[in-house]
A and B are shown apart, each in its own frame.
Chain A
Amino acid sequence: VSTQSTGVKPIKRCCFFSLSYFFTTTKTMDSIAEWSDSVKRMRPRMILQQIINFGLIVSTALMIWKSLMVITGSESPIVVVLSGSMEPAFYRGDLLFLYQNDGPIRVGEIVVFRLEGREIPIVHRVLEVHERESSIDILTKGDNNQVDDRGLYNQGQEWLNRHHVIGRAKGFLPYVGMVTIIMNDYPYLKYALIFVLGLFVVINRE
């Protein structure tokens, strides 16, 4: 806990100082004055159109994500590897592309599964598969772990079933997911980024 708090505080102070410096430089004050002038000059219909344009940008991003969900069949088509339990195949910060279909799950496949009650899915390799008439039992293990995942599963759960699996790995991009990890570890960075991006979209009348 002590290392966590010393890690977060300096980042928070640094963000605060850089943001206040950014806003107190005269150039930004001029831009804000220019922006408020340009908004005052806009007719109400144009302001409505600007708000709708902002909504459209957000909607486009959302729609691209939804179409990826449909194409790959997985509810989470792109995920970031959070831990080092799959080294040397995947390192922390790698981006993983997933797909999902009803085909058989085989030993050796890399699957992403979500346990009941846990929010964060886990990406590990399938160690054992027991096929029954209408269901399958799966046991997984991280490449870099000493033991299989039974210790990770919920109390009393010994196997995974098909409904736990939200996708299988198809491809990956190294390091690209680091941005998400940094933003998750330092949420102030995420809010600052969203704020600045939103500001740019609204300020730009074009």
Chain B
Amino acid sequence: MPSSQTPAKINIYDSNVVKQVLDDHLVKILINEEFKEDVQLSNQKIILGLLSCGLAALSHFWPTPFPHNKTLLIFCVVSYMILSAALQYIATYKEKDFIFLTQSRLRYSDDAMEVASTLKKYGEIYTMSLAKKGLGTKKVEKSVSITKYFYSDGVFAEDKFEKDVKQMLKEFLGLNLSLIHI
């Protein structure tokens, strides 16, 4: 069923748009399955970003003229470098290729997951994975050629994509059950 948000046609030769469309739809399906976003990491990034911009504004708009505000400038520059390094660290090591982090659906259901996806530039294979939060080893992965999800004129085959995602989700939840049994 075509939704109002998915574009009828996209340019299938633009890897960025293809990945965006698939990622956005993947997240949409998960949200429909009652998964809520875990905003902790995103909040950390937003707060660090706002702090950095605040430091820059502070260093620029503080009323003291130049030679006298040197200590303030040194403080701002050094703190900005530290915050930038922290943001870089988060982007490289904590975020990796995640597109969505979820909370557990119910307090005891323990199905919080890290959703990641990769698509090489001009590549054909789209790899999506659902990994158990924190335990990256327990994950379900699916690599599919993007030609399966897009018609040659650029129309997005939502139903095919949805079927694959739902099957992957079932596998992931099945993983959880087997863990509980052990």
Contact = CB atoms under 8 A, between A and B. Distances in A.
B86 interface: no
A34 B66 contact: no
A69 interface: yes
Interface stretch (A3-11, A16-24, A38-46, A129-137): A38-46
Interface string A64-79: 0011011000010000
A206 B16 contact: yes
A60 interface: yes
B60 A62 contact: yes
Interface string B1-14: 00001110011000
Contacts of B144: none
B46 A69 contact: no
Given A34-B17, A63-B80, A45 B45 contact: no
A43 B37 CA distance: 11
Contact of B46 (A41, A42, A49): A49
B94 interface: no
B109 interface: no
Contacts of A62: 56, 59-60
Contacts of A106: none
Interface string A160-175: 0000000000000000
Contacts of A60: 84
Contacts, number: 73
A67 B77 CA distance: 6
Given A40-B5, A49-B45, A59-B80, 10 more contacts: A30-B11, A34-B11, A41-B5, A48-B46, A52-B53, A55-B53, A58-B56, A59-B55, A63-B77, A206-B16
Interface stretch (B68-76, B130-138, B161-169): B68-76
A116 interface: no
Contacts of A37: 7, 10
A59 B51 CA distance: 11
B52 A59 contact: yes
Contacts of A201: none
A56 B11 CA distance: 30
Contact of A55 (B5, B49, B74, B80): B49
B73 A66 contact: yes
A94 to B, nearest CB: 24
Give me the 9 closest cross-chain CB pairs, A-B, nearest first: A59-B56, A75-B66, A52-B49, A55-B53, A41-B24, A67-B77, A37-B7, A63-B80, A62-B56
Contacts of A43: 27
B21 interface: yes
A55 B84 CA distance: 13
A154 interface: no
Contacts of A83: none
B59 A56 contact: no
Interface in B28-68: 37, 39, 42, 45-46, 49-50, 52-53, 55-57, 59-60, 65-67
A205 interface: yes
